[in-house]
Amino acid sequence: MQGISLRFRMVYLFIALAATSFLPMQGLLAQQESSDAAFIVPKPKKAKVEQKTDVGAPSAYNIQGIVAQAFKMKHPLQMLSPLAPKKDGDGHDDIAWDPDNPEKPKGIIFFGVQW
Q: Are 25 and 75 contacting, i.e. CB atoms less than 8 angstroms apart? A: no
33/89: higher pLDDT: 89
Tens of pLDDT along 29-51?
555 566 666 677 778 888 777 77
* Beta carbons within 10 angstroms of residue 64's beta carbon: 15
Residue 41 lies in a domain: no
Domain range for residue 76?
62-84+91-114
In a domain, 24, yes or no: no
Determine, yes or no, domain membership for 71: yes
In a domain, 77, yes or no: yes
**Does 61 score more than 70 pLDDT?**
yes
- The verdict on residue 28 lying in a domain is no
Phi, psi of 79 (to 5 degrees): -65, -25
Residue 37 within any structural domain of the chain: no
Indicate whether 4 belongs to any domain. Answer: no
Looking at the 3D structure of the chain, how many domains does it have?
1
Confidence (pTM): 0.41
